[in-house]
């Protein structure tokens, strides 16, 4: 029965979360564009204090990547920056161990000394009805994580 319901659920979902942070776009862009700075603000880095991270030689901008292996909360996967527009966009591909690659992006829109930061992730569950069923749950977890990342960025980089 669950498989039948799953066939009628969407195979793709967009998770999008935004916050206005009291910091210049250049500061926030740098925090996302430099992968070895993610440990400062990313909630995913806090899931496992012993998580193993292996960075590529390039750690910033297009071509920067890392792979991680952690406990059952952190899991395993890779991330690679695929496109950058200075102080405006960092696009990256995120691959969790058992899922299709996710296209993700962070955008930065300055306004009156503050910056609207938006994190987005395109989830594609392909033709798997069981993954379709998990879509809303997974999207909710990711949305909460993005909200926490944005709050961490405000605490770390905010001028207020």
Domain that holds residue 141: 2-157
Bridge partners, residue 59, by sequence = none
What is the C-alpha separation between 128 and 134, in angstroms, rounded?
A: 10
What was the pLDDT predicted at 104?
94
Average pLDDT over residues 133-156: 83
Task: Tell me: pLDDT of 6 over 50.
Answer: no
What was the pLDDT predicted at 105?
98
Into how many domains does the chain fold?
Answer: 1
What was the pLDDT predicted at 137?
61
Long-range contact set of residues 74-77: C-beta below 8 Å, sequence gap at least 24: 74/44, 74/47, 74/48
CATH number where 94 lies: 3.30.530.20
| Backbone torsions φ then ψ of 130, nearest 5 degrees | -70, -40
Question: What one-character DSSP code corresponds to residue 47?
Answer: S
Tell me the pLDDT tens digit for each residue of 109-118.
Answer: 998 889 999 9
Which residue, 115, 116, 114, 134, is CA-closest to 124? 134
Tell me the pLDDT tens digit for each residue of 76-116.
Answer: 899 999 999 999 999 999 998 777 788 999 999 998 889 99
């Amino acid at each position: 029965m669950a498989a039948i319901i799953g066939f009628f659920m969407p195979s793709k979902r967009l998770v999008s979360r935004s916050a206005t942070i009291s910091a210049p776009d250049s500061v926030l862009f740098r925090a996302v564009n430099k992968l070895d700075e993610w440990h400062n603000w990313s909630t995913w880095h806090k899931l496992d204090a012993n998580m193993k991270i292996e960075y590529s030689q390039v750690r910033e901008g297009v071509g920067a990547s890392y792979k991680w292996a952690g406990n059952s909360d952190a899991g395993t996967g890779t991330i690679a920056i695929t496109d950058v527009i200075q102080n405006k966009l960092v696009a990256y591909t995120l691959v969790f161990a058992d899922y299709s690659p996710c296209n993700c992006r962070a955008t930065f829109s300055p306004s009156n000394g503050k910056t609207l930061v938006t994190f987005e992730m395109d989830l594609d569950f392909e033709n798997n009805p069981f993954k379709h069923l998990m879509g809303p749950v997974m999207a909710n977890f990711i949305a909460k994580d993005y909200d926490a990342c944005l709050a961490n960025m405000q605490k770390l980089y905010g001028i207020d």
